Amino acid sequence: MKDVLADRTKLIDASGIRKVFALAASLKDPVNLSIGLPDFDVPDDIKAAAIAAIQAGANRYSQTSGDSELIEKLGAQVTADYAWADPQIMVTSGVSGALQLIFMSLINPGDEIILADPYFVIYKHMVNMLGGKCVFVDTYPDFKLPAHKIADAITDKTKLIILNAPANPTGMVYSEEDVKAIAQVAAQNDIIVMSDEIYDTFCYDGPCPSIANYYDNTLLVKGFSKSYAMTGWRMGYVAAKPQLKFVMEELAKIQQYTFVCAPTPFQKAAIAALDTDMSEYVDAYRIKRDMVYDGLKDNFKVVKTSGAFYTFVQKPDWAESATEFVKKAIENNLLIIPGNVFSEQDTHFRISYATTNEKIEKGLEILNNLAVKG
């Protein structure tokens, strides 16, 4: 058969993760520190709200931009958190859906998108599929946000700056000083900033500074998947100040012809989720964060993280690459992800501590043995 696939399919590379799972296929009950989703279930009150919505007949399409009650509640929360008057709200099919809508609305072939390296894997591949160019800003070894490097990366082709904090895969939360500096750089160059804050509930050492507090031309992206363990429910949203209403209108237009709307019964459940206290879960994950850092710091170069549920760890000196180290870990029944899935470098590996404390302890034991013995 002749080549029927679109050229853009060749721009997506899932080989890094595929290799991990191919290597892991023969493992029996592996210690899995690779999965990026909460190990707890959706709280019962939220489940009950979803069931009630389904039974009440909320099974049809909602308006494209979302259920009016949910939009009103999200708008009130955004106003309370960021002092935005009349925020524009768009409910999306997960944060991944929000990213697709934003990128399709903004990126033309040849446009440059600035993002920190390491980065969430979807950014790179979506930008490539749309013909854009990723401009990576190196944040190694401490993963802090270098405003001067971002300023130096801006050209007349720059269309968007992407921030992600708390970050996947590094777990970093940027300082208020650094966020303000990025806001100043963006304002001086009149560039939209997309702030992906899907992990904002998981902040362990105080509030997570958001550029939404300091820069008007921010597309604020948040969701319910990580905070409430609703990963399969596909619930996210985009918020913007009125001056970006023209962008939000394009998001709605594209959603009409793609996702149509976010799942209606789960939009109803999201209303209940916004009233659910998740601090108990955050406290438990703070303990897991500390377990990982304290358990690795003597044998690995590791930065203590402040958010999300990941740690990005430098490979030991004996390993030529992080990929080589990950293969060795899998041979020892431990699943972790090589850093080149999330980076232009292959020097680190990602640990997800979204699992039981018992599994974390087992994983730390394997990692420390590998660090010492190879």
> Number of structural domains, the chain?
2
CATH number for 342: 3.90.1150.10
Does residue 51 sit within a domain? no
34 and 142 fall within a common domain = no
Which of the listed residues 246, 273, 300 is the one where a domain comes to its end? 273
Return the structure tokens found at 262. Answer: 């976010």
148 and 258 fall within a common domain = yes
**Angle between helix 44-55 and 264-273 (nearest 10):** 140
CB 150 within 8 A of CB 161: yes
pLDDT tens digits, residue range 86-125? 999 999 999 999 999 999 999 999 999 999 999 999 999 9
255 and 291 fall within a common domain = no
Return the structure tokens found at 326. Answer: 């990950």
Measured in degrees and rounded to the nearest 5, phi and psi for residue 278 equal -105, 10
pLDDT band (50, 70, 90) for residue 7? confident
79 and 163 fall within a common domain = yes
pLDDT band (50, 70, 90) for residue 68? very high
Residues spanned by the domain of 195: 60-273
Handedness of CA 117, 130, 65, 50 (dihedral sign): negative
Res 366 pLDDT > 60: yes
CATH number for 104: 3.40.640.10
Does residue 55 sit within a domain? no
14 and 80 fall within a common domain = no
pLDDT tens digits, residue range 134-175? 999 999 999 999 999 999 999 999 999 999 999 999 999 999
Does residue 26 sit within a domain? yes
CB 97 within 8 A of CB 118: no
pTM of the predicted protein model: 0.94
Does residue 283 sit within a domain? yes
What is residue 370's predicted lDDT score, i.e. its pLDDT? 96
How many percent of the chain have pLDDT more than 90? 90
Which of the listed residues 252, 273, 294 is the one where a domain comes to its end? 273
Which of the listed residues 273, 298, 325 is the one where a domain comes to its end? 273
pLDDT tens digits, residue range 216-249? 999 999 999 999 999 999 999 999 999 999 999 9
209 and 173 fall within a common domain = yes
Q: 3-class SS at 130?
A: coil
Q: 3-class SS at 280?
A: helix
Q: Quick one: DSSP state of residue 41?
A: P
Does residue 50 sit within a domain? no
131 and 184 fall within a common domain = yes
86 and 35 fall within a common domain = no
Strands (E), 207-322: 218-223, 236-240, 310-314
128 and 250 fall within a common domain = yes
